[in-house]
Amino acid sequence: MIEVKNLQKQFGKHQVLKGIDFTINPGEIYGFLGQNGAGKTTTMNILTGLTSYRQGDIVIDGLPLQGNIEKLQKVIGYLPEDPQFYPYMKGIEYLEYIGKISGYSRETIDKRNQELLHLVNLTEASNRKIGGYSRGMRQRLGLAVSVYNHPKILFLDEPSSALDPQGRRELLDIILGLKDENTTIFLSTHILSDVEKICDRIAILHEGTIHLEENLETLQEQYLQPVYEIQWEGDCSALKEPLLQESWVDKININKNHMTLYVHDRKKAQGKLLEVLSGFSLPIISLSLKRSSLEDIFVKVVNGK
Residues 208 and 236 grouped into a single domain:
no
CA dihedral for 300, 212, 41, 153, sign (positive or negative): negative
Residues 263 and 157 grouped into a single domain:
no
Residues 66 and 199 grouped into a single domain:
yes
Residues 213 and 246 grouped into a single domain:
no
Residues 199 and 236 grouped into a single domain:
no
Exposure of 249 by Cβ count < 10 A (0-12 exposed, 13-18 middle, 19+ buried)?
buried
pLDDT at 81: 87
pLDDT at 305: 58
Local structure of 13: helix, strand or coil: coil
Q: What is the CATH number of the domain that holds 280?
A: 3.30.70.920
Backbone angles phi, psi at 246, to 5 degrees: -75, 135
Residues 274 and 128 grouped into a single domain:
no
* Full domain range(s) for residue 256: 226-289
The pLDDT tens digits for 94-151 are 999 999 999 999 999 999 999 999 999 999 999 999 999 998 899 999 999 999 999 9
With a cut of 70, which residues of the chain have pLDDT below it?
A: 224, 305
Distances (CA, A) of 254 to 228, 231, 232, 264, 288: 12, 10, 11, 18, 15
Q: Could you tell me which of 67, 45, 47 has the C-alpha nearest to residue 1? A: 47
What phi-psi label fits residue 273: left (phi over 0), alpha (psi between -120 and 50 degrees) or beta?
A: alpha
When divided into structural domains, the chain yields a total of 2
Last residue of a domain, one of 221, 252, 271: 221
Residue 298 lies in a domain: no
State the pTM of this model: 0.82
DSSP, res 36: T
